[in-house]
Structure 1
Amino acid sequence: MKEKFLGVDVSNYTYDQLKKNIMTDINEHRKSFIVAINPEKILQAQKDADLLHLLNTATYQIPDGVGILIASRMTGGTIRERVTGIDMLLALCEQASLHGKSVFLYGAKPGVAEKASHRLKEMYPDLKIAGIIDGYEKDQDHIKDTINQAKPDIVFVALGSPRQEYWIVDHMEEMDAKVFQGVGGSFDVLSGRVKRAPAVFQKVGLEWLYRLIKEPWRIKRQIKLPTFLLKVLKTKK
Structure 2
Amino acid sequence: MTKEEYMGVQVSPLSYEEITQQLKQRVAQGEQSTIIAVNPEKIMKSQTDETLRDLINGSTFQIPDGVGVLLASRLKGGDINSRVTGVDMMDRLLQLSADEGYRVFFYGAKEEVVTKAIENIQQKYPAIQVAGYENGYAQDQEALIQKIQDSNADVMFVALGSPKQELWIRENKERLPVKVFQGVGGSFDVFAGHVKRAPAPFRKVGMEWFYRLATDPKRFKRQLALPKFLWRVITKK
Range into which the TM-score falls when normalised by the shorter chain: over 0.9
Structure 1 match to 2:86: 85
Structure 2 match to 1:28: 29
Structure 1 match to 2:208: 207
- The one-letter amino acid paired with 1:110 is E
Unmatched 5+ stretches in structure 1: none
Deviation, 1:154, is 0.4
- The one-letter amino acid paired with 1:208 is W
- Pairing 1:175–2:158 present: no
Q: Describe the SS at the equivalent of 1:138.
A: coil
Deviation, 1:23, is 1.3
- Pairing 1:144–2:145 present: yes
Structure 1 match to 2:106: 105
Q: Give percent identity, aligned residues only.
A: 48
Structure 1 match to 2:11: 10
Aligned pairs for 1:42-191 within 5 A: 42-191=43-192
Deviation, 1:116, is 0.5
Deviation, 1:56, is 0.5
The Cα RMSD (Å) is 0.8
Aligned length: 236
- Output the CA distance in 2 between the equivalents of 1:159 and 1:209: 25
Superimposed CA distance per residue, residues 156-205 of structure 1 (whole angstroms, 9 cap, x where no aligned partner): 00000010011100100110111100000000111011111111111111
Calculate the TM-score normalised by the size of structure 2.
0.98
- Output the CA distance in 1 between the equivalents of 2:202 and 2:122: 25
- Output the CA distance in 2 between the equivalents of 1:26 and 1:147: 17
- The one-letter amino acid paired with 2:142 is D
Structure 2 match to 1:37: 38
- The one-letter amino acid paired with 1:216 is P
Deviation, 1:234, is 2.3
Q: Describe the SS at the equivalent of 1:212.
A: helix
- Output the CA distance in 2 between the equivalents of 1:143 and 1:12: 34
Q: Describe the SS at the equivalent of 1:95.
A: helix
- Output the CA distance in 2 between the equivalents of 1:24 and 1:113: 29
List 4+ stretches of structure 1 deviating above 4 A. none
Deviation, 1:207, is 1.1
Calculate the TM-score normalised by the size of structure 1.
0.98
Deviation, 1:210, is 1.1
Moved more, 202-211 or 58-67: 202-211
- Output the CA distance in 2 between the equivalents of 1:199 and 1:128: 29
- The one-letter amino acid paired with 1:135 is G
Q: Describe the SS at the equivalent of 1:111.
A: helix
Superimposed CA distance per residue, residues 24-59 of structure 1 (whole angstroms, 9 cap, x where no aligned partner): 111110000100000000000000111111110000
- The one-letter amino acid paired with 2:232 is K
- The one-letter amino acid paired with 2:155 is I
- Output the CA distance in 2 between the equivalents of 1:205 and 1:151: 37
Q: Describe the SS at the equivalent of 1:106.
A: strand
Q: Describe the SS at the equivalent of 2:111.
A: coil
Deviation, 1:143, is 1.1
